[in-house]
A and B are shown apart, each in its own frame.
Chain A
């Protein structure tokens, strides 16, 4: 199998995903509306309710809406990762997954391509969101917009891999509501996206611990530091390891002989 085949397959998958995203105007708008509602309404209400102390990467006092922007970037990627997994379930139900998985390329490669496609879409969404935030006077240093790209790719891959893993467990599209309740919301609220860790510690030590080890928190902090031109090694390694673990499990989950698909009585 030549590299060209691999490239053509990967490009095809990424292109299909991006095309699907751009043509589904409602999806494009709704993907943006969600973080914007948080930014304009939720953050506005909390503007002065939370007096934030200075904590890295910030070097001075910030308004609450400045604080939650990296968290909302993470939220975009979290929802996108889950949405990609939803589309996997849909593809499986519709049969297009069968075509994809019978393609004469390794399954891990196809899944990775699918993951990259989802990540590309989420990165696109994040940049549009950051552009709107800029107009709202939330202006991180200019170089931060460059530094954030690798961070977004890694966090997008990690959250996408989690979505893939979950999609290997989900038999039907209807079960996706469970993912919302049991994965997205706890992951989002139990993280540093809305409140800094020290603030969570004030209310509950257990919650603080959970938020600290939540891979979503680590991804958000990676994004936060990158947006302010800083590299945070701890969050980078944590996110990378989480990605490798989720991806390995997802590949295993999609393995027809060993994975969840056989246990679920066949699929796609």
Chain B
């Protein structure tokens, strides 16, 4: 009996000590910052290639994919050894990309060529290049793997690509300069941020029509500084979070009522967002103040901002 209690205590202790690791791409340092967010410490930075921006972790948490834009490739880094284990030919200037839920296909935005490259990871081969609108940037795959949505900044459109056929089946016109797009966990809605319009469009995936448009207003901040970029939604679809760029705020949105509940002050030019595995914390990359902010989502408070290096851009979390 005592042994059982002891092993239960040890198990609890082991679980609580299992801190996640946050990976941050540093655009100007050509490096990857590795952060222990529980201890609030920058563990180390490793060089990864020229101008690293987009980042994602494979579903098995073994590989980090990093778009090194000026090298024109996507690098594969081992999450344990932090050594390069391979590269993927992404096409010119890869900035953002999306990994499908299975983790076998990458969808890469090639901004200069107005194309989306579909990549088979195992074969390291391009399956298809899809012509989309001008300057594609934000890209995401729906959790049910049915849709790939690419947002083109200049055309102001969301392109709905059928993930089975890799063909665009529909386009949705949204506000000026769409930057990022994500799906609710039930794949029913796509949320797309529009940088120039200070807005967020919520699009019904079945009709491809905008069902709600949210405009952001921050007290004491001029409208031109409110530039929504990164967007994430929690698993329960209770709240969504939008990074507002030079407004230095993260907007907290009720995903049921679509009301903005709160604006949280973070570092300067907040760019991208990522949840902790238990979704109790949110990590933000702050491009100008060269740090990341840690948000406690239970209390909706920013608990810490931590210097990581020059121009933090993308962020991904490994359990």
Contact = CB atoms under 8 A, between A and B. Distances in A.
Nearest to B291: A54
A172 interface: no
Given A60-B293, A61-B248, A61-B265, A54 B221 contact: no
B219 interface: yes
Interface string B192-223: 00000000000000000000000000011100
Interface string B280-313: 0000000001000110000001111100000000
B37 interface: no
A63 B304 contact: no
Taking residues whose C-beta sits less than 8 angstroms from the other chain, chain B's interface range is 10 to 19
A12 B214 CA distance: 62
B302 A61 contact: yes
A63 B265 CA distance: 8
Interface string B247-268: 0100000000000000001110
Contacts of A47: 219-220
A48 B265 contact: no
Contacts, number: 28
A245 interface: no
Nearest to A63: B265
Given A59-B303, A60-B305, A48 B220 contact: yes
Interface in A31-69: 47-48, 54, 59-63
A61 B266 contact: yes
Contacts of B301: 139
B227 to A, nearest CB: 16
Contact of A48 (B40, B221, B289): B221
A60 B219 contact: no
A47 B218 CA distance: 12
B305 A54 contact: yes
Contact of B267 (A61, A63, A139): A61
Contacts of A54: 305
A99 to B, nearest CB: 53
A182 B220 CA distance: 35
Interface in B216-253: 219-221, 248
Nearest to A137: B262
A233 B248 CA distance: 33
B72 to A, nearest CB: 36
Q: Which of B220, B266, B289, B302 has the most CB of A within 10 A?
A: B220
Interface of A: 47-48, 54, 59-63, 139
Interface of B: 40, 219-221, 248, 265-267, 289, 293-294, 301-305
8 contacts: A47-B220, A60-B265, A60-B293, A60-B305, A61-B267, A61-B289, A62-B265, A63-B265
Given A47-B219, A59-B40, 4 more contacts: A60-B266, A60-B293, A61-B248, A61-B266
